[in-house]
Amino acid sequence: MKNSGKSSKTTAKKAGRPAGTGFITELDRYLFGQGTHYKIFEKLGAHPRTYGGKPGMYFAVWAPHAKSVGVVGDFNGWDPEASPMKPLEDSGIYEAFIPGLGTGELYKFAITTKDDKILFKADPYAFSAEFRPGTASITTDISGFSWSDEKWMEKRKHTEPEKAPMAIYEVHLGSWRKASRPEKDGYYTYKEAAHELADYVVKMGYTHVELMGIAEHPYDGSWGYQVTGYYAPTSRYGGPKDFMYFVNYLHKKGIGVILDWVPAHFPKDAHGLADFDGEPLYEYADPRKGEHPDWGTKVFDYGKNEVKNFLIANALYWVENFHVDGLRVDAVASMLYLDYGRSDGNWVPNQYGENKNLEAIEFFRHLNSVLTGHMTGAIMIAEESTAWPGVTKAPEEGGLGFTFKWNMGWMHDFLEYMKLDPYFRKFNHNKMTFGITYATSENYILTLSHDEVVHLKCSMINKMPGFPDDKFANLKAGYTFMMGHPGKKLLFMGQDFGQYHEWDEKTALDWYLAEEPQHRDLLKYYSDLLHIYQKYPALYRLDSDWNGFQWINANDGDRSIFSFIRRDETGKKNLLFVINFTPMARDDYRVGVPKSGTYTLILDNEHGLYKRGEHAFSKRSVKSECDGQPYSFAYPLPAYGTAVFRFN
């Protein structure tokens, strides 16, 4: 970007102050001030318009503390005085219309503060932004995309997410694959990624893709969690309509799209939201509330209507304009607790002397009510790492109104168990059983996310103990337990084929490993699990209902074997899971079952999924008490053995 941070002389004709264009009405200003203008992004920002019979570009920005504001760009030599904006009474909004200006132009707002400093700020509502290290916004028209995902969108309206299968593939587009070209660091474009990613996801059996870091951000190392352009799909992979193509294509292939969304905090970059008009505007003014000491970022002011409107409208923008199926809300706990990451004496209690952020609680209830009410079938997912009650309960019942919550407790216990040498697992058996005791308290997603395979935590395969053969066998057993456990599923990219090294956003996954025998076998096995998961409603219909799960033996700690049943409402095609977490084979393992009948093996760790026509064996239960059940049958359970049986 040329001279984007400096004032310069220009020969361009200076635009006069408009008397008021009428593009932002009194009603717009009122709703924005109330925090209920859910399409404010159609008014603030930059939009192609016709005014006085002349086509051009209309600009509007909220900067109530500014002394004056101007639009700057290549079109006027970045001169703060060339295109002044007019304040609209009692709203803090400035507007300007520049005739003859089209799309594709770099621009910023030149904000003169009360102490006569000039700040060059990117547009908070910009639909497109410059590729890093550039920091300007780009005039863009996002209208006119031809959607063809009607079948998906109609199906979504009639889907009950809690009772539907959800196996999420978490993806960082910039490092999923790389193209052999120098432009933009070899990033795949949205269009390129759409085709290859869809093929992979369909073949594997995932139901959804969750994308990290799609909103514009300046620093790759933030992974997209320090956002400067909340309304702009990152230019790393293309423009807004390219991202629309991505979502549209995945929908046509039957794949849902979830975005990571960050309303918790934002960075202090000079062109961003921090001290936007010379004073705290989007953030709390008191640094004890307005700054995250651990992250070096600013905290949104959830008590300010215009700020809440900015965020709630942004959530609706992604779901409505880009047909996104849901948002995974990052760092929810940091928003709910006033003392999150803060030492004693460095946080401000609420009016009751407590550490709960009452404004953030109200924000979540408002947000989730509006989004799930406006967009039927869209989901909201909370990354909430504490035991906050009622995260997925309705606001009218005292909850926060999310559809799902990441089960961080299960993830922690599961990984601690899986990292143990098998000898010591018998002393930690409860780490794998404890999750069931609270499985119905929320609508959960079991997550093995990017956060668990970075910062010296090791990849999933290298968390496993033992020699290579043991590592792969352990991971098969762990993934089988995860697939059988109540809750939707999420796995980060590369962990399905056993990526060795930790995830690095700068490099692509080691896809060559997926062709090596052990990795290929693990990948096929995880795909088999995914296909079983989608095929059998017992694995997803009653995730939050005690009727959907039954322990057969939760107490076989000495042998580190777990057995349990999953059911749906019909009682047909129930599944029995048996999982051995030691290298000791049990040649005549006997498992208790509740009824007389035939139990057919449909998957094990040696063969994977038994397809139709293959000769998987069946066992007829006999009247012989075992595991507290009236019937039982015996079969050979190998080292690290997994077995899934179907029965009616």
Q: What does the DSSP assignment read for 618-641?
A: EEE-EEEEETTEEEEEEEEE-TT-
Place of tokens 């970075």: 454
Q: How many CB atoms lie within 10 A of CB 511?
A: 14
How many residues are given for the chain?
Answer: 648
Query: In sequence order, which residues have a C-beta less than 8 Å from that of residue 201 and are 6 or more positions away?
Result: 169, 209, 250, 253, 255
Same domain, 284 and 324: yes
Domain of 620, CATH number, reads 2.60.40.1180
In a domain, residue 182? The reply is yes
In a domain, residue 507? The reply is no
- Catalytic-role residue among 216, 330, 384, 452: 330
Domain of 88, CATH number, reads 2.60.40.10
Angle at CA 28, nearest 5°, toward 282 and 143? 90
Same domain, 195 and 331: yes
Contact present, 107 and 73 (Cβ < 8 Å): yes
Residue 233 token pair: 């799909």
Instruction: Identify how many contiguous H helices and E strands the chain contains and give both numbers.
Output: 15, 31
Q: Residue 373 belongs to what domain range?
A: 164-380+394-406
Same domain, 125 and 195: no
Same domain, 240 and 341: yes
CA distance 488 to 170: 13
Place of tokens 């019909």: 570
Same domain, 113 and 207: no
The string of DSSP letters for 240-252 reads HHHHHHHHHHHHH
Radius of gyration of the chain (CA): 27
In a domain, residue 172? The reply is yes
CA distance 262 to 273: 14
CA distance 556 to 564: 12
Low-confidence ranges of the chain (pLDDT < 70): 1-19, 612-613, 615
H-only helix segments in 148-239: 150-157, 173-176, 190-204
Same domain, 131 and 197: no
Q: Look at strands 444-448 and 404-406 and give their pairing.
A: parallel
CA-closest candidate to residue 464, choices 429, 499, 489, 436: 499
Same domain, 113 and 201: no
Same domain, 119 and 171: no
CA distance 457 to 267: 26
SS3 468: helix
CA 398 to chain CA centroid, nearest Å: 24
In a domain, residue 471? The reply is no
User: Distances from the Cα of 390 to the Cαs of 135, 312, 361, 383, in angstroms?
Assistant: 40, 21, 11, 14
Handedness of CA 289, 290, 293, 294 (dihedral sign): positive
Helices 408-418 and 430-437 meet at what angle, rounded to 10? 160
Q: What are phi and psi of 340, to 5 degrees?
A: -65, 120
CA distance 236 to 333: 30
CA-closest candidate to residue 572, choices 595, 546, 554: 595
Place of tokens 């507290």: 628
CA-closest candidate to residue 379, choices 168, 117, 173: 168
CA distance 571 to 565: 11
In a domain, residue 124? The reply is yes
User: Distances from the Cα of 399 to the Cαs of 320, 368, 444, in angstroms?
Assistant: 25, 10, 15
User: Distances from the Cα of 547 to the Cαs of 188, 252, 391, 486, 577, in angstroms?
Assistant: 45, 34, 22, 11, 16
In a domain, residue 296? The reply is yes
* 359 carries an active-site annotation: no
In a domain, residue 7? The reply is no
Residue 6's pLDDT is: 39
Handedness of CA 232, 236, 241, 246 (dihedral sign): negative
Same domain, 90 and 239: no
Q: Look at strands 68-73 and 106-112 and give their pairing.
A: antiparallel
CA-closest candidate to residue 495, choices 242, 203, 168: 168
What's 502's DSSP letter? P
Report which residue type is found at 626: C
CA distance 275 to 174: 30
CA distance 202 to 256: 11
* 614 carries an active-site annotation: no
CA-closest candidate to residue 620, choices 648, 599, 646, 637: 599
Residue 607 token pair: 């063969």
The string of DSSP letters for 103-145 reads SS-EEEEEEE-TTS-EEEE--TT-S-BPPTT---EE----TT-
Q: How many CB atoms lie within 10 A of CB 587?
A: 9
Contact present, 591 and 564 (Cβ < 8 Å): no
Report which residue type is found at 25: T
Residue 1's pLDDT is: 40
Same domain, 241 and 305: yes
Same domain, 179 and 308: yes
What's 356's DSSP letter? B
Same domain, 281 and 361: yes
Domain of 401, CATH number, reads 3.20.20.80
Residue 615's pLDDT is: 66
pTM as predicted: 0.95
Element (DSSP H or E) covering residue 364: helix 358-374
User: Distances from the Cα of 321 to the Cαs of 158, 213, 465, 482, 511, in angstroms?
Assistant: 20, 18, 47, 34, 33
- Domains held by the chain: number: 3
Contact present, 230 and 237 (Cβ < 8 Å): no
Q: What are phi and psi of 62, to 5 degrees?
A: -95, 115
In a domain, residue 330? The reply is yes
Q: What are phi and psi of 545, to 5 degrees?
A: -130, 130
CA distance 291 to 297: 6
